[in-house]
A = this chain, B = another copy of it.
C-alpha cells in the first residue's frame, strides 16, 4: 500500500489546502496503518502553488514518523536539494511513456527527463535516499492514444539501471482492462522481477480494482492508491481518478490478504480528507462504509 493522497490528491485542488489540513490528513493516514506515504512534490511553487509548503509540511511531519516512510516527488536537481535539506528518506522521479504527455506534464522531452534523472538519482543514492520512479500513460495517453509497451519497458529498464528501487506503472487516464493489463504486465515481468514493479491505477472507468487483481495474480505486490479516491478528477464532478485506498483494502482483506491497514481507519481518514477539501469524494467503500453486519 503506497498512499499518494497528500501529494497526488491535493495538488489539483482549486483552493490550496492549508498546512494544518494536510497535517490532519496525514495523521489520519498514519493512524490507519499506512506505512508508505507520498507527502508532496518539490516542483516549483509557481507551477503548483498547492504544494508550495513542501518544506514546512515535511518539517512538521517527519519528526512524528514512527515506522512510516515518507516520500516526495523531485523533478530536478533543485528539487533534490530541497529534499536533502529537509532530510527526506525517499524521493520519487517521474516521466510519461508518451512524448506529448511528458511535454505537457513536465515541459521536457522524454530524453531530457532521462538526462535530468541521471543528474538527480545518483547523488540522491549517494546521500542514502531511496528513489522510486513513476512511468505515466503506460496503458494509454490522452493525446497519443495507445502507447507501445516496448517504450514503457525501455524506460523502466533505464530507471532501474539508475538504481531506482521500484518503478510504478501508471494507468494515468484509467483506460486499462484486464486482458490489456495481463498482456502488458506479462511483458514487463518477463524482464523485470515483480518486487521492482508497482501499479498506479486510476478508477476513471471502474477498472482499477480489476486491473490490480490481474497484477496480484501475476505477482505484483505494490499498489498505489489515494484515500477516498482523492485527486485526479479530470472529467465530471464526482468522476473518479485515483483508486481509493479503502476499495483496495476492502478487496484485499476480503481475499485474506493482510494489508496491515485498518479499513475503519482508512474510512475515517477519508472523512478527514472530505473535511479538508470541503467536498464529497468518490471512493465506494468511503461512501458506503464497511458492511454493517458481517456475521450474525
User: Which residue of chain B is the closest to A173 with respect to CB atoms?
Assistant: B291
User: Which residues of the partner chain B approach A174 to less than 8 Å between Cβ atoms?
Assistant: 288
| B145→A250 contact, CB < 8 A | no
User: Which residue of chain B is the closest to A293 with respect to CB atoms?
Assistant: B145
- With contact pairs A179-B256, A209-B206, A213-B213 given, residues A294 and B250 touching in the complex (Cβ less than 8 Å): no
User: Which residues of the partner chain B approach A175 to less than 8 Å between Cβ atoms?
Assistant: 291, 294
| B293→A244 contact, CB < 8 A | no
User: Which residues of the partner chain B approach A206 to less than 8 Å between Cβ atoms?
Assistant: 203, 206, 209, 244, 247, 250-251, 283-285
The answer to whether A180 has its CB under 8 Å from any CB of chain B is yes
The answer to whether A126 has its CB under 8 Å from any CB of chain B is no
Name, among A209, A244, A280, the residue most crowded by chain B CB atoms within 10 Å (CB to CB). A209
Q: Closest CB-CB distance, A198 to chain B, in whole Å?
A: 19
- With contact pairs A145-B295, A295-B146 given, residues A288 and B210 touching in the complex (Cβ less than 8 Å): no
Interface residues of A, CB < 8 Å — how many? 50
The answer to whether A207 has its CB under 8 Å from any CB of chain B is yes
Contact of A205 among B146, B177, B203, B250 (CB under 8 A): B250
Assembly CA distance A145 to B296 (angstroms): 5
User: Which residues of the partner chain B approach A280 to less than 8 Å between Cβ atoms?
Assistant: 238
Contact of A140 among B178, B180, B250, B291 (CB under 8 A): B291
Chain A 228-242 against B: per-residue CB contact (8 Å), 1 yes, 0 no? Answer: 000000011011100
Assembly CA distance A295 to B147 (angstroms): 9
The answer to whether A4 has its CB under 8 Å from any CB of chain B is no
User: Which residues of the partner chain B approach A128 to less than 8 Å between Cβ atoms?
Assistant: none
Chain A 125-150 against B: per-residue CB contact (8 Å), 1 yes, 0 no? Answer: 00000000000000011111110000
The answer to whether A292 has its CB under 8 Å from any CB of chain B is yes
User: Which residues of the partner chain B approach A287 to less than 8 Å between Cβ atoms?
Assistant: 235-236, 238-240
Contact of A142 among B253, B292, B295 (CB under 8 A): B292
The answer to whether A204 has its CB under 8 Å from any CB of chain B is yes
The residues of A with any CB-CB pair to B shorter than 8 Å are: 140-146, 173-180, 203-207, 209-210, 213, 235-236, 238-240, 244, 247, 250-251, 253-256, 280, 282-285, 287-289, 291-296
